Structure 1
Amino acid sequence: IEGRDKSAEDDPFAATGIKLGSFVIRPTLEQGLTASSNADSSSEGKPALLSETTLRFNAISDWRENLAVIDGYGTFLKTISGDEVQEARGRVDGTLNVDLDNDLRAIAKLGYEAAPESASSPVVIEGTVEQPVRQTIDGSLALEKDAGKMRFALTGAVEHDIYGDAKLSTGGTLSQKDRDSTLYTATLRSGYEISPAITPFTEVEIGRRVYDLRVDTNGFERSSTRLGVRAGAEVDLGEKLAGEFSAGWLREAIDDDRLPAISGATVNADLRWSPERGTTIGLTGQTIVEGTTTANESGDILYSGRLTGEREIRANLIGNAALGVDWRDYIGSDGHDLTLSAEAGLTWWLNRYAGLTTRARTEKQTSNLEGRDYTAHSIFVGVTLQP
């Protein structure tokens, strides 16, 4: 009827995306300047003004049955003035969900990541100009089955890490091939649906980490056998609260008898809570075993936790914040690192296609090991574009 008010869009500033075949693709380009007090986040880092470019994209299928999702990002940093930094990093992930017969589901995942190793890495390489680039290729295949209120899942996964050569300040390079390894794991999960809102579960994980070189440059056999157990719960309260959390124990026994096993408690979480419309709180946690080729050392366990929040202040103004904590426990010694971080940002959408973005971040690492303390502050100002 002419003159009748049109209904408002749910989100008038959301990306409409690009239709390509049976996928809808939503890319985002962010370009701006970053001023940092510690450009490479190292104990001897210096200030710099950097150009920062980030391309993010999401592609989701619109198939009648089954679902495919592809997510990725790429970031490029280059110094305009100050400490010389030139860095490129990125990751792409693909997930395919297929419903089979008899309440059986298959979930396949494949990912690739490339990024220079952090200057605060637990593996210290003396006299380098640039940190080696680490490439990770990972994939998994899971089969899930519902039998009444029982839930079963069997997941096989493979992760292969490749380290590039380290460039030395004296000229030449230092090979990092003895750090290349492949982790094979199989995980069996069983759960029982107490109610549609909560499903407790237990997990058993077995695996094998195989290094490309049986003996590293220091004469140690680094390959290991992995065993883990976990107990936790899946939570599903619709849009209000969803995700899972678990706790358990993980052990990697190294083939070389001179090196102690890497073992410790594990804590994992991935929860999303929406106390009201327009507000999302996220909590993630993971436990990672980090190997090393340092003589007479086994490696460490890294505990990482992130608390994030996003708020739609107005239809065209989005605020976000994050708090992070990392605790690295070195096996076979009393060494440890503690890293604390905080970040806050705003995006003001001028229209559906362009917005202004700013964020501030601070990070501080303290360690009882020499030469590992650092503090880094940064501010980013730029524009965000989306089709």
Structure 2
Amino acid sequence: MLGVAMAALTVQTGQASAQSASGALDSDTPLRSTLVEPANGTPIGAAAGSPAQRRDPTGNDEAADTADPDEPATGTVPATRIEPLNARAASVDTLDATEDKAADTEAGFGRQNDRAAPVDDLKPGPAADPDAVPGFAIGTLVLRPTVSEKIVHETRRDGSGTTGRTFSETTLTGTLESDWSRHRLTVDGVATLQKNLSGTGSEQPRATLDAVLLLDLSRDLQATLKAGYDFSREDRTDPNAVSGAVTQATVEVFSAGAAVEKSIGNLRGTVATEVTRSVYGDVVLADSSVLSGADRDTLAGTVSGRIGYVLSPALIPFLQASVQRTRYDQTLDDNGFARSSTAYAAKIGAEIDLGEKLNGELAAGYVLRDIDDATLTDIGAVTVDGTLNWSPMRGTMLTAGLATSVEAATAAGESGSVVYALTTGLTRELRRSVVARLGSSITYRDYASDSLSPDQVLFGATMGLSWSLNRYLSLDADVGFERTTQPGSPDSDTARVGLGLKLKR
């Protein structure tokens, strides 16, 4: 179309100024142009000496047919289209495939509904996971519940002998997520109930509920609100467990907190506060008497600050400091000690984010716990904290965690201990529907040098296998072993074997 329009415009211009144009051209050099095809199929502007028809600017085609090719040309040059000299020809296979597809389409065979390109010319997102559980829609929230029923056999061995029990373990897990365009709400809950079927042993109920609300206030300002609840029963191997008790104390922990994160250039700062309430239940002794745990109830408040510098999206070094005040409901416990305290902590570390392959953070610092009672020794220790997630290959995930904490004591004259915990986990997808799990843990409880309690070490190992029969039902098998060692006391070993079903929706 462009060539035809330009040719027509050229002919009109040539008719108006043919005389002046002929005088301006060099009469000694014939005019040459590239062959083009107009709409009517007649070649114009053929090279000199070719048999192609030459159009006379005056419109006399017969004169153009008999014109001498060596005679100087007059008039204007018609519009031409330059064809690339190195144009790539289509392959024979491509031409055959195109012809076959066109023939199949005309004959009614082949695909008739080819995928249409997106309007915004963007790549489509990843396909939805066919194994993902859809859940229940509750307005703009999605609830994904899971029910697990397992039969477990447990064997315990310590200085008093060996005991065993078989029990059923029912676990209800639920996740509630928002489907909002800007902010995000996540609520996670787990509740486990045990029921002894045979043998002797203490049942261990557990429950956890955590809610996190992420508020995207602006491009560089985010806020986080969270609340939590945790329920558990102390084990007889816990440092503050009552020796010889039939039923250990229950522990309830209520927590609430808020944090604000601000980004200014490459600087990223976070200020957070948290309040924690701990309530301890009664202990049932062998003679059926009850020992109150009210003197252990506490209220703790923590304020922390963190500042980091974004060297790159994959590496962010940071500094963090915190102050925590813990106040006991009773100024003096049953032994006459004032155990309220103030803890100061600082650490330096770095965040690592290399995508799904490798991410986490590692930090080292120092913590000091100043106890109000002057007769109790303050606790100070070096801290190491961190998490690491590494996926060396598709379907394999290795996790590791380091944590340092300070525990209070209840025995007369004891200040407490520093607890170092190392956990590792390996998950391997053997097949699409079969996942194997390995886990291990080491916990070292370090008491003060003037403490009468020797240091304690706990080892743990687990192995599990999950077989998904379909997206809603899976079969789980687990094996676990724990050992607690402490100088001056017999070792305590616990072994568990469990088999159960998990129903998801």
TM-score range, shorter chain: over 0.9
Quickly say closer, same or farther: Cα 1:330–1:120, change in 2 above 3 A: same
Q: Distance in 1 between matches of 2:429 and 2:340?
A: 48
Contact 1:78 1:87 in 2 (8 A): no
2:154 aligned with 1:36: yes
Q: Considering only CA atoms, is the larger Rg found in Structure 1 or Structure 2?
A: 2
- The amino acid of 1:304's aligned partner reads A
1:333-368 Cα shifts (integer Å, max 9, x gaps): 372111111111111111111111101111111112
Aligned to 1:360: 479
**For 1:56-96, what per-residue CA distance to the aligned partner results, in whole angstroms no more than 9, with x for missing partners?**
11111110001111111111111111114333211010111
Alpha carbons of structure 1 residues 85 and 293: separation in structure 2 relative to 1, 3 Å: closer
Q: Please give the alpha-carbon distance, in whole angstroms, between the structure 2 residues aligned to 1:2 and 1:362.
A: 61
Partner of 2:461: 342
2:236/2:243 contact within 8 Å kept: no
8 Å contact from structure 1 (residues 13, 349) kept in 2: no
Residue aligned with 1:204, SS: strand
Q: Indicate conservation of the 8 Å contact 1:11/1:315, yes or no.
A: no
The answer for unaligned runs of 5 or more in structure 1 is none
The aligned counterpart of 2:57 is none
TM-score (norm 2): 0.73
The count of corresponding residues between Structure 1 and Structure 2 is 382
1:12 — aligned with what?
A: 130
In 2: Cα distance, 1:221 partner to 1:290 partner: 15
What is the 5 A alignment of 1:1-387?
A: 11-38=129-156, 46-101=163-218, 103-331=220-448, 332-333=450-451, 335-370=454-489, 373-387=491-505
Deviations 1:82-117 (Å, cap 9, x if unpaired)? 114333211010111101136111111111011111
* Percent identical: 35
Give 2:501's aligned amino acid: V
Looking at structure 2, the residues matched to 235 and 282 of structure 1 have their Cα atoms a distance apart, in angstroms, of: 14
In structure 2, do the counterparts of structure 1 residues 120 and 43 end up closer, same or farther at CA, with 3 Å as the change threshold?
farther
Report the residue type matching 2:458 in the other structure.
T
Q: Secondary structure at the match of 2:295?
A: helix
Following superposition, the deviation at residue 119 of structure 1 comes to 1.2
Aligned partner of residue 156 in structure 2, secondary structure: coil
Deviates more, 1:102-111 or 1:244-253: 102-111
CA gap of 1:44–1:288, structure 2 versus 1, over 3 A, is: farther
Offset at 1:369?
4.2
Distance 2:213 2:387 in 1: 20
The 1-side partners of 2:153 and 2:411 are apart by 34
Structure 1 residue 145: deviation in Å? 0.7
Shift of 1:228: 0.6
2:482 & 2:377 partners in 1: Cα distance? Answer: 32
The amino acid across from 2:149 in the alignment is Q
Judged with a 3 Å threshold, the aligned counterparts in structure 2 of structure 1 residues 301 and 352 are, in CA distance, closer, same or farther, namely same
CA distance in 2, matches of 1:188, 1:302: 23
Cα separation, 2, equivalents of 1:35 and 1:359 = 11
| Equivalent pair of 1:26/1:57 in contact (CA under 8 Å) | yes
1:77 touches 1:85 (CA, 8 Å); kept in 2? no
Q: C-alpha distance in 2, partners of 1:126/1:242?
A: 43
For residue 38 of structure 1, give the secondary structure of its aligned residue in structure 2.
strand
Q: Which whole-Å CA distance do the structure 2 matches of 1:226 and 1:155 have between them?
A: 16
Gaps of 5+ in 2: 1-110, 115-125
Q: Per the alignment, do residues 43 and 374 of structure 1 end up closer, same or farther by CA in structure 2, a change over 3 Å counting?
A: farther
Whether the aligned pair in 1 keeps the contact of 2:427 and 2:437 (CA below 8 Å) is yes
SS at match of 1:15: coil
The CA distance in 2 between the partners of 1:153 and 1:260, in whole Å, is 33
CA separation of 1:43/1:188 partners in 2, compared to 1, >3 Å: closer, same or farther?
Answer: farther
Distance in 1 (CA, whole Å) between partners of 2:247 and 2:288 is 12
User: Greater relative contact order (Cα 8 A, min sep 6): structure 1 or 2?
Assistant: 1
Q: Distance in 2 between matches of 1:43 and 1:100?
A: 59
- Which structure dedicates a bigger proportion of its chain to strand? 1
Q: Partner letter of residue 405 of structure 2?
A: I
Match of 2:256, SS? strand
- Residues 127, 170 of structure 1: 8 Å contact kept: no
Q: Which has the larger displacement, 82-91 or 338-347?
A: 82-91
Going from structure 1 to structure 2, the CA distance change for 1:44 and 1:188 (only over 3 Å counts) comes to farther
Contact 2:234–2:241, Cα closer than 8 Å, also in 1 = no
Name the one with the larger helix percent.
Answer: 2
Distance 1:280 1:341 in 2: 20
